[in-house]
C-alpha cells in the first residue's frame, strides 16, 4: 500500500535499523480532552504510531485495566463518531494514527462508511482483534479502498495456515499477541512470543511488533532484540487513570513514552 502514513513510518523505521513503538489509549477515557492531550503527548515523545481504542461493552481481548477505561468512557457518554473528532484534533502531530476496535461496531456502522470516515479524519490503520482472517476480505477491501491499512493479528495458538492467511491480507505491521490471554501489564515477557515472531517472519516481510504485556523500558528493550518493535497499552492506560487532570495525564504519558523511546533505537548505530 502506497501513500499510507502508517505503512511508510513502519517501513522506514525498520529499514533504518530502528525499532518501532506503538502506543495505545482508550478513546474518551475519562473524557475527550484527556485523550487528545495524551495522544499528543505520546506523539511528541516519539511514538511511531498511536492506536485509539474505541470503547466497547464486550471487550473480549482486554484485561481489567482497559475494560475499566472502556467503562469510564462509555459512562461519560462516548460515541463512536467522537473517535473522528479526536483524530482530527491530533492528526497534525505527524505521527500515524490507527483505530483499534471490535468488529461489531464496524459492522453496525457500515464497513465502507467506517473506513471512509476514518480516512477522512486522518486515520491510517485499522486493528480488529476479533476478526478472523477467513472473514476479513470485505473489511480489507473497504479499508484498502480508502487507503487505510488493515493490521493483522497473530497469536501463539495461530496455526501456520491461518497465520499465513492473516499476514498476506494485512498491511502496516503484524501485531503479535505475546500471550494466550487478555491485555494487561505483566512482570515478564512470555517466552512463546519470541517463537511466535520467528514463525511469522517465514510468511511476511512486514514489520513484526509484539504487544500484550509490555510494561517497562527494560521489557521493550528485551523484545526489540528479536522483534521489530512493541505495542504498549495497559501500562499507558494505567497512567491516564491515575492522573488527576488532563495535564497530569499528558505529563505522565510523555515521560513514560520518552523512556520507552530511549530503550528502542530510532536507527542502527
- Which of the residues are catalytic? 51, 62
224: nearest Cα among 169, 267, 162, 167: 267
Q: Are 208 and 227 in contact (CB under 8 A)?
A: yes
125: nearest Cα among 32, 17, 70, 53: 53
Chain Cα centroid distance, residue 109: 21
Q: Are 180 and 156 in contact (CB under 8 A)?
A: yes
Q: What are phi and psi of 51, to 5 degrees?
A: -95, 125
Half-sphere exposure of residue 21: CA atoms within 13 angstroms, side-chain side: 28
Phi-psi category of 17—alpha, beta or left, where left has phi over 0 and alpha has psi -120 to 50?
A: left
Q: Could you list the beta-strand ranges (E) of 76-136.
A: 97-100, 123-127
Helix axis angle, 217-224 to 246-263, nearest 10°: 40
* Length of the chain measured in residues: 269
165: nearest Cα among 194, 140, 190: 140
Amino acid at each position: 500500500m502506497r501513500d499510507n502514513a502508517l505503512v511508510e513510518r513502519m517501513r522506514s523505521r525498520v529499514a533504518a535499523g530502528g525499532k518501532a513503538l506503538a502506543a495505545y489509549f482508550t478513546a474518551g477515557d475519562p473524557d475527550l480532552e484527556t485523550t487528545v492531550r495524551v495522544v499528543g503527548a505520546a506523539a511528541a515523545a516519539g511514538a511511531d504510531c498511536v492506536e485509539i481504542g474505541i470503547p466497547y461493552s464486550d471487550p473480549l481481548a482486554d484485561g481489567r485495566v482497559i475494560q475499566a477505561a472502556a467503562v469510564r468512557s462509555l459512562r461519560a457518554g462516548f460515541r463512536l463518531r467522537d473517535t473522528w473528532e479526536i483524530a482530527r484534533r491530533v492528526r497534525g502531530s505527524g505521527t500515524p494514527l490507527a483505530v483499534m476496535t471490535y468488529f461489531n461496531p464496524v459492522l453496525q456502522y457500515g464497513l465502507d462508511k467506517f473506513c471512509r470516515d476514518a480516512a477522512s479524519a486522518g486515520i491510517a490503520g485499522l486493528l480488529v482483534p476479533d476478526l478472523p482472517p477467513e472473514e476479513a476480505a470485505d473489511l480489507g477491501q473497504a479499508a484498502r479502498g480508502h487507503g487505510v491499512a488493515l493490521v493483522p493479528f497473530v497469536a501463539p495458538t495461530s496455526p501456520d495456515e491461518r497465520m499465513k492467511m492473516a499476514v498476506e491480507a494485512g498491511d502496516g505491521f503484524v501485531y503479535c499477541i505475546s500471550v494466550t490471554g487478555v491485555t494487561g501489564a505483566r512482570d515478564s515477557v512470555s517466552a512463546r512470543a519470541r517463537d511466535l515472531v520467528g514463525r511469522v517472519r517465514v510468511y511476511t516481510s512486514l514489520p513484526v511488533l509484539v504487544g500484550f504485556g509490555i510494561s517497562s523500558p527494560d521489557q521493550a528493550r528485551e523484545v526489540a532484540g528479536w522483534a521489530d518493535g512493541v505495542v504498549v497499552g495497559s501500562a499507558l492506560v494505567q497512567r491516564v487513570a491515575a492522573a488527576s487532570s488532563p495535564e497530569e495525564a499528558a505529563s505522565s504519558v510523555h515521560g513514560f513514552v520518552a523512556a520507552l523511546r530511549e530503550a528502542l533505537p530510532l536507527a542502527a548505530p
